[in-house]
Amino acid sequence: MTFLIRPANMGDLQPIYEMAKRTGGGFTNLPPDKKALFAKLERSAAGFDRVGDVVADDLYVFVLQNTLTGEVRGTCQIFGNVGQKWPFYSYRIGALTQHSVELERTFRADILNLSTDLEGATEVGGLFLHPGERAGGLGMLIARSRYLFIRNHRQRFADRTIAELRGVIDEAGGSPFWDGVAGRFFGMSFQEADEFNAKFGNQFIADLMPKHPVYIAMLPESAKTVIGVPHPSGRAAMRMLENEGFAWENYIDIFDGGPTMTARTDQIRSIREAKDVTITEIRKFVGEQKVDQKKLLTLGRLHTFKAAYGWMDDRGDDVIIDAETARALNISVGDQVTYVGRS
């Protein structure tokens, strides 16, 4: 059985919607709203269709498809240049140090500053894998395929890439961080604000949120303890990001307090280590075909981009690929592919 990554199309609306209903809230890039998802797919189609290789406010939506059944079992997104239509807000954790001569004491206060520092970056997000497929490295396939797409369309993306991880959500679907900070100023629950943001953007934050720094010491303990903490379901994603060279640099989401990871685009591991080769032979079997010997392979540009795991033997002048992967990706001898090691 082979799974492949390909650009999403309008025919994928229903399966994407079914996955969105499973996210459990706080997943702003994948709202369980058909109208919003339809708009995303329209915008994605426009991004893939756009002529010219310059950084722009594009959205690229991809799906994970089972080539045997045709079922869509996962999805992910790339935002070419965030903060162009609306300001891209984050909280940046800073510090204010003050000294009292009379008391002979120095006080250090941690504060949250409303910031648009990350405006203009490329964002990877919207990754969701159907619960029935969370094995076999498919989450890594979805995540890393985005980096190879960025690499092979490098001029369309910024020099900085970010990834927002969902923060802690309680059993009732609320956010302790929202309740302790922004919720005090908006008169709406986290679920209402989250849904509004997914459909219309977070400009209302700019309109209503106080611009003054927020002293963390003044927040309730329930809010303080979740600052920069990913949702339990996002811990594996955070480890994958760190393995790719992303780091947490004290930026958090303004809604749920989840960490925003950042990296220099050209230093992302998959981008840095990927190689371009030309296929010289296709065989039924390549080597011992152990799972840990698989490579992540991609080919094609824009609408024709595809990615999958496969076995490959790169001998320099001779590059051999297994027949099943060649069929799944429609690879022929003489085609150029990009690959990177699985681990």
Q: Which residues are catalytic?
A: 231
Tokens of 24: 């459990």
Give burial (CB, 10 Å; 0-12/13-18/19+) of 43.
middle
CA distance from start to end of the chain: 20
CA distance 207 to 110: 25
For the CA atoms of the chain, what is the radius of gyration?
22
User: Three-state SS string across 56-124, please?
Assistant: CCCEEEEEEEECCCCCEEEEEEEECCCCCCCCCCEEEEEEEEEEECCCCEEEEEEEEEEECCCCCCEEE
Quick one: CA torsion of 78, 80, 85, 89, rounded to 10 degrees?
Answer: 70
Q: Which amino acid is at 305?
A: F
Phi, psi of 290 (to 5 degrees): -80, 145
Question: What angle, rounded to 10 degrees, do the helices at 34-49 and 190-200 form?
Answer: 30
Cα–Cα nearest to 219, from 252, 195, 173:
252
User: What are the helix (H) ranges across 133-263?
Assistant: 138-152, 176-180, 183-186, 190-200, 203-208, 221-224, 235-243
Residues 168 and 231 sit within 8 Å (Cβ to Cβ) = yes
CA distance 190 to 54: 36
Q: How many CB atoms sit inside 10 A of residue 179's CB?
A: 17
The CA–CA distances, whole Å, from 144 to 53, 192, 273 equal: 21, 32, 12
